[in-house]
Amino acid sequence: MTNIQNTSTLIAVPHSAPTVVAPARRATMLWHYLALVGVMCIALFFHVYQLDREGYGNMYYAAAVKSMSLDLKSFFFNSFDTASFVTVDKPPLGLWMQVFSVWLFGYSGISLMLPQVIAGVLSVALLYVLVRRVFGEWAGLIAALVLAVTPISIAANRNNTMDSQLVFTSLLAAWAISLAAERGKLRWLLLCAFFVGVGFNIKMLQAYMVLPAFYAVYFLTAATQWWKRIVHLIIATVLLIVVSFAWVVIVDLTPPESRPFIGSSTDNTVMELIVGHNGVARIGGSLRSLLRPGGTPPNQNPNPPQDGAPPNQNFNLPPNQNGAPPNRPPYPPPNQNPNPPQPPQGAPSPGGETGTEGIFRLFNQQLAGQATWLLPLALFSLIVLLARLPFTNEHRAALLWGAWLIPQVIFFSYAGLFHRYYLEMMAPAIAALVGAGVVLMWNSYRDSRWRGWLLPVALIIGAATEIFILREYADQRRWLTPLIGGVTVIVCVALIILKFKRVVILSRAFVVIGLLALLVAPSVWSATVFLGGDAGLPFAGPELLSSPRRGGIAPNITRLTTYLEANRGGAKFLAATMNANSAAPLIIETGEAVMTMGGFSGRDNILTAPELAERVKNNEVRFFLVPRQDNRAGGSSDNNDLTRWVNQSCRLIERSAWSTLDSPSGGGPSAGGGAELFDCKK
């Protein structure tokens, strides 16, 4: 390709293709194809090996898919139950993909994971195409390999959380915006807006995290006049809004009595869910403090419920050995026990799942091993890519990936409510910049200019970052640190010597060895998902080596469901619970409607006590699986009025009639998730 510059853009003019491909070129392309096949096999292996051990994944979403696959109204409104009582706290498209898989292959853990696995593997291939078309085959291969072994991508893609679908649609949008900017054509920009809107219907505002990159690339570099760029962006924004909010508007315009309650919203609208639970609640304390002294907006819970992970996510495990109450947070507060046991190696330090917000948050123990291994190397590559003159198509691509990555680094450093698997959104940009930057630095290394020394520096940056991350993991540090550090030192010394000898084949071999050394630690972290995992909040790392796999349904739940089905007496709902942690396994096991009176977390104000009494009178619901009033831990967030009404108005069923456990101390669905069974039939 020959690059021709004018005042507005860069135009690519192809050379005349030779009539016969040289044998050396054919051999090189064969190696590239074989390498690409190898990378795709690695990606496929990490995504599907022992996938059947993942169970149903996130039980909250698994139950919703079961309900949506059985009832079309529940399907459209994204309802958690077949009676359309309350919705899931996410938009529907990602779950719809899982429903389609269930319709095709039947309801199973594999069919729930399949859409995410497909999206994850296709994302590796698509990233290769995106990077290769600008930076060449080697850059595409490196980028694809980095993404294929990124730990948080593997952990999330083997789960029924929908982030891999969002990543794939975002990469499709990146492909469209690249063509739009290169050609200055509105139709490609509209296609980009369409894909982003599709992503919005998978994870709401999270899909908009890539918009700064897309707007910047088109506005600054599109091959058309500046005023046309503005007009095109306005038109594309209109389409983006239409695609993003079409389902939202339809649902919100539907009379509340004709649809389910919008779960996790405060006013029963999807718009409030977008702005509130999936919007303001994600903002960190630093920004909240600007909104209101004390750091928390009015009526905003400073510790909002964790989406996708019901309270007591481990509800299916045996009784809790430390006696934690059933609605404990994912990690106990520090210093709660005067003589706390030592956590397993790699367990998150105090600070919750994501740690304390701040500039170095992505390098803390909770997050660093998930997606940060090559982040400094990616940022270094971005600087090197943008520092070259004059402007080329490579600059446009570097701007795209840099503007994709940097806003997300800032957001995740200071965000409030998010989960580790959200970091998957950063992975494609990190991988693309590493691939493009290393190839550019390799080309500079082959020249005699001072830029040739950047390649050894880049490898040292990558190795130093990984050694810093490994400092918290004694077992892995013992062998990974000398491996990574030793190989990197040898490679850098060899590159320094070979720069003067100009032995290209040998130099290239050492660069490959250096890159592979930097991918050992991420690969080890990715492999841990085969041994354990968190069904609700997927992550990777050595913590999984010493903790049991979390998720699935206790075998003895059958005793409870058998009792409920035999005695429901024609009631519309099989039973009622306060939140999703007790309802989800019942829905998965039976496919029947279960009323979650407080929505996902138990905090939604869906019903009042008189309204609940009226539903009982009309035989909509008979059985209630709720805690006994005198056994409830102080400060519980569940709706006390409803629980109090059940305790005062209904008859307690002896546990021997429906459970194999003698007490409700954290026993999971077989023991009511720390609750008791009440019969409200008069």
Residue 325 in any domain: the answer is no
Gyration radius of the chain over CA positions: 27
Indicate if the pLDDT at residue 340 is higher than 50: no
Give backbone dihedrals phi and psi of 558, rounded to 5 degrees, phi first: -55, -35
- Same-domain status, 616 and 519: no
Indicate if the pLDDT at residue 449 is higher than 60: yes
Q: Which of 365, 379, 405 is nearest to 525 (CA)?
A: 365
- Same-domain status, 515 and 581: no
pLDDT at residue 128 in the model: 98
Report d(CA 40, CA 38) in Å as an integer: 5
- Same-domain status, 63 and 188: yes
Residue reference for tokens 């050492």: 510
Q: State the pLDDT confidence band at 3, using cuts at 50, 70 and 90.
A: very low
Q: State the pLDDT confidence band at 306, using cuts at 50, 70 and 90.
A: low
Indicate if the pLDDT at residue 246 is higher than 90: yes
Between strands 575-577 and 594-596, the pairing is parallel
Q: Is 355 left (phi over 0), alpha (psi -120 to 50) or beta?
A: left
Cβ neighbours, 10 Å, residue 450: 8
Q: Which amino acid is at 300?
A: Q
- Same-domain status, 489 and 442: yes
> Mean of the pLDDT values across residues 602-607?
94
> Mean of the pLDDT values across residues 407-428?
95
Helix 163-183 to helix 186-203 angle (10° resolution) is 170
Q: Where is the domain boundary, 525, 541, 571?
A: 525
pLDDT at residue 548 in the model: 61
Give backbone dihedrals phi and psi of 309, rounded to 5 degrees, phi first: -130, 95
44-49 long-range contacts, CB within 8 A, separation 24+: 44/121, 46/148, 46/149, 46/154, 46/526, 46/527, 46/529, 47/117, 47/120, 47/121, 47/154, 47/157, 47/158, 48/117, 49/530
The two three-digit tokens of residue 277, written as one number: 């639970």
pLDDT at residue 266 in the model: 94
Is residue 222 within 8 A of residue 232, CB to CB? The reply is yes
Is residue 203 within 8 A of residue 167, CB to CB? The reply is no
Residue 577 in any domain: the answer is yes
CB half-sphere exposure, 527, CA atoms < 13 A: 7
Residue 474 in any domain: the answer is yes
Indicate if the pLDDT at residue 15 is higher than 50: no
pLDDT at residue 533 in the model: 66
Is residue 277 within 8 A of residue 307, CB to CB? The reply is yes
Residue reference for tokens 């495990």: 317
Cis, bond preceding 390 (omega within 30 deg of 0): yes
Q: State the pLDDT confidence band at 284, using cuts at 50, 70 and 90.
A: low
CB half-sphere exposure, 567, CA atoms < 13 A: 18
pLDDT at residue 429 in the model: 98
Contacts of 606 (CB under 8 A, 6+ apart): 85, 86, 261, 597, 598, 599
pLDDT at residue 671 in the model: 39
> Mean of the pLDDT values across residues 630-650?
73
Residues in the chain: 682
Q: Which of 206, 121, 135 is nearest to 168 (CA)?
A: 121
Report d(CA 314, CA 174) in Å as an integer: 38
Is residue 100 within 8 A of residue 93, CB to CB? The reply is no
The two three-digit tokens of residue 79, written as one number: 């309802």
Is residue 163 within 8 A of residue 422, CB to CB? The reply is yes
- Same-domain status, 195 and 96: yes
pLDDT at residue 546 in the model: 77
- Quick one: three-class SS letters along 561-586? HHHHHHHCCCCCCCEEECCHHHHHHH
The two three-digit tokens of residue 566, written as one number: 């035999």
**Which tops the pLDDT comparison, 641 or 663?**
641
- Same-domain status, 140 and 220: yes
What residues form DSSP beta bridges with 550? Answer: 534
What residues form DSSP beta bridges with 577? Answer: 596, 625
- Same-domain status, 429 and 362: yes
514 burial level (CB within 10 Å; 0-12, 13-18, 19+): buried
Q: Which amino acid is at 228?
A: K
> Mean of the pLDDT values across residues 382-406?
93
Residue 275 in any domain: the answer is no
Start-end of H helices in 204-253: 211-221, 226-253
Q: Which amino acid is at 524?
A: V
pLDDT at residue 174 in the model: 98
Report d(CA 120, CA 158) in Å as an integer: 9
Q: State the pLDDT confidence band at 333, using cuts at 50, 70 and 90.
A: very low
Lowest mean pLDDT among 214-228, 365-379, 383-397: 383-397
Query: For 18-62, what is each residue's pLDDT tens digit?
Result: 445 577 677 778 888 999 999 999 999 999 999 998 899 999 999
- Same-domain status, 210 and 62: yes
Give backbone dihedrals phi and psi of 177, rounded to 5 degrees, phi first: -70, -30
Residue 115 in any domain: the answer is yes
> Mean of the pLDDT values across residues 274-290?
72
What residues form DSSP beta bridges with 389? Answer: none
> Mean of the pLDDT values across residues 497-515?
90
Range of the domain at 634: 557-679
- Same-domain status, 503 and 575: no
Residue 8 in any domain: the answer is no
Integer distance in angstroms from the first to the last C-alpha of the chain?
82
* Three-class secondary structure of residue 426 per DSSP: helix
Query: For 562-602, what is each residue's pLDDT tens digit?
Result: 999 999 999 999 999 999 988 999 999 999 999 999 999 99
- Same-domain status, 610 and 505: no
Helix 59-70 to helix 580-590 angle (10° resolution) is 40
> Mean of the pLDDT values across residues 252-274?
97
- Same-domain status, 137 and 213: yes
Total domains in the chain come to 2
Q: Which of 211, 205, 426 is nearest to 307 (CA)?
A: 205
Q: Which amino acid is at 191?
A: L
* Three-class secondary structure of residue 465 per DSSP: helix
Indicate if the pLDDT at residue 1 is higher than 50: no
Q: Which of 574, 575, 554, 556 is nearest to 625 (CA)?
A: 575
What residues form DSSP beta bridges with 594? Answer: 575
Helix (H) or strand (E) holding 364: none
DSSP string for 471-519: TT-HHHHHHHHHHHHHHHHHHHHHHHHHHHHT-HHHHHHHHHHHHHHHT
The two three-digit tokens of residue 618, written as one number: 């009309």
Lowest mean pLDDT among 345-354, 386-395, 424-433: 345-354
Residue 629 in any domain: the answer is yes
Q: Where is the domain boundary, 525, 543, 576?
A: 525
Q: What percent of the chain has pLDDT over 90?
A: 72
Residue 656 in any domain: the answer is yes
> Mean of the pLDDT values across residues 74-91?
97
- Same-domain status, 575 and 495: no
Report d(CA 281, CA 204) in Å as an integer: 13
Is residue 47 within 8 A of residue 523, CB to CB? The reply is no
Report d(CA 657, CA 636) in Å as an integer: 27
Cβ neighbours, 10 Å, residue 412: 23
Q: Where is the domain boundary, 525, 549, 570?
A: 525
Q: Which of 613, 596, 581, 646 is nearest to 62 (CA)?
A: 581
pTM above 0.85? yes
Report d(CA 673, CA 680) in Å as an integer: 19
The two three-digit tokens of residue 181, written as one number: 């900017």
Report d(CA 664, CA 682) in Å as an integer: 25
Helix (H) or strand (E) holding 27: helix 23-48
What residues form DSSP beta bridges with 86? Answer: 261
> Mean of the pLDDT values across residues 512-525?
97
Residue reference for tokens 């002294």: 293
**Which tops the pLDDT comparison, 319 or 310?**
310
pLDDT at residue 258 in the model: 97
Average pLDDT of the chain? 85
Sheet containing 623-626: give its strands across: 594-596, 575-577, 623-626, 676-679, 651-652
Lowest mean pLDDT among 352-361, 414-423, 443-452, 476-485: 443-452
pLDDT at residue 553 in the model: 74
Q: Report DSSP state, residue 304.
A: P
Q: State the pLDDT confidence band at 550, using cuts at 50, 70 and 90.
A: low
